[in-house]
Structure 1
Amino acid sequence: MNYRHAFHAGNFADVLKHALLARVLTYMIAKPAPLRFVDTHAGLGVYDLTGDEATRTGEWRDGIARIDAAAVPPALADVMAPYLAAVGPRGADGAWRSYPGSPAVAQWVLRPEDRLTLCELHPEDAEALKRETGRDPRVRVLASDGYAALNAVLPPPERRGLVLVDPPFEKTDEFDRLLAAMLRAHARWPTGSYMLWYPLKNRAAVGRFAAGLARSGMKRVLQVHLLVGDPDAGPLAGCGLAFVNPPYVLKGEAETLLPWLAETLARPGQATEWTVRWLAGE
Structure 2
Amino acid sequence: MLSYQHSFHAGNHADVLKHLTLVAVLERLNLKTKPYFFLDTHAGDGIYNLNSEQALQNSEAKTGILQLESNRQLDNDENNNVKGNSALFNSYVNIVNQYIGEQQYPGSPMVASALLRKGDNAFAAELHPQAFESLQRSCRRTGIKAQHRDGYEVLNAVLPPTPNRGAVLIDPPYEQVCEYQQVIDAVTKAIKRWPIGIYMIWYPLLSDTREDRRTNEIVNNPKSALSEKMLSQFSGLNVKSVLNIQFCTLKPSQKVGMYGSGMCILNPPWQLDNDLKEILMTLQKILPSDNNELSKVEWLKTE
- Give the TM-score of the pair, scaled to structure 2: 0.85
Per the TM alignment, residue 271 of structure 1 is displaced from its structure 2 partner at its CA by 2.9
Structure 1 distance, partners of 2:179, 2:278, is 30
Match of 1:206 among 210, 214, 227: 227
Question: Relative to structure 1, is the Cα distance of residues 234 and 204 closer, same or farther in structure 2, using a 3 angstrom cutoff?
Answer: closer
Q: Which sits farther off after the overlay, 70-79 or 230-239?
A: 70-79
Pick closer, same or farther for the CA change 1:229–1:148 going to 2, 3 Å. same
Match of 2:211 in 1: none
Structure 1's unaligned 5+ residue stretches are: none
**Alpha-carbon distance in structure 2 between the residues aligned to 1:249 and 1:96:** 35
Is the 1:22–1:82 Cα contact (8 Å) retained in structure 2?
A: yes
The list of structure 1 runs, each at least 4 consecutive aligned residues, that deviate by more than 6 angstroms after superposition, is: none
Residue identity over aligned pairs, in percent, reads 37
SS in 2 for 1:218: coil
Q: Which residue of 2 aligns with 1:65?
A: 66
Deviation readout 1:181-228 (Å, 9 max, x if unpaired) = 111111110111110001001442122111111112221110111101
Aligned to 1:117: 123
1:29 and 2:30 aligned: yes
Which residue of 2 is the match for residue 219 of structure 1?
Answer: 240
Greater gyration radius = 2
**1:280 Cα offset (Å):** 1.0
Instruction: Count residues in correspondence.
Output: 276
Find the residue that maps to 1:31 and give its secondary structure.
coil
1:260 counterpart letter in structure 2: T
Q: CA deviation at 1:148?
A: 1.7
Q: Is the CA contact (8 Å cut-off) linking 1:90 and 1:96 kept in structure 2?
A: yes
CA contact (8 A) 1:3 1:169 kept: no
- Work out whether residues 45 and 100 of structure 1, in 8 Å CA contact, stay in contact via their aligned partners in 2: yes
Quote the offset at 1:277 in angstroms: 0.8
SS in 2 for 1:171: coil
Question: CA separation of 1:151/1:29 partners in 2, compared to 1, >3 Å: closer, same or farther?
Answer: same
Q: Structure 2: 5+ residue runs without aligned partners? A: 76-80, 207-222
TM-score by length of 1: 0.91
Please name the residue that 1:88 is paired with: 97
Give how far 1:160 is off.
Answer: 1.1
Name the structure 1 match of 2:135. Answer: 129
CA spacing shift, 1:76–1:227, aligned 2, 3 Å: farther
RMSD of the alignment, in Å? 2.0
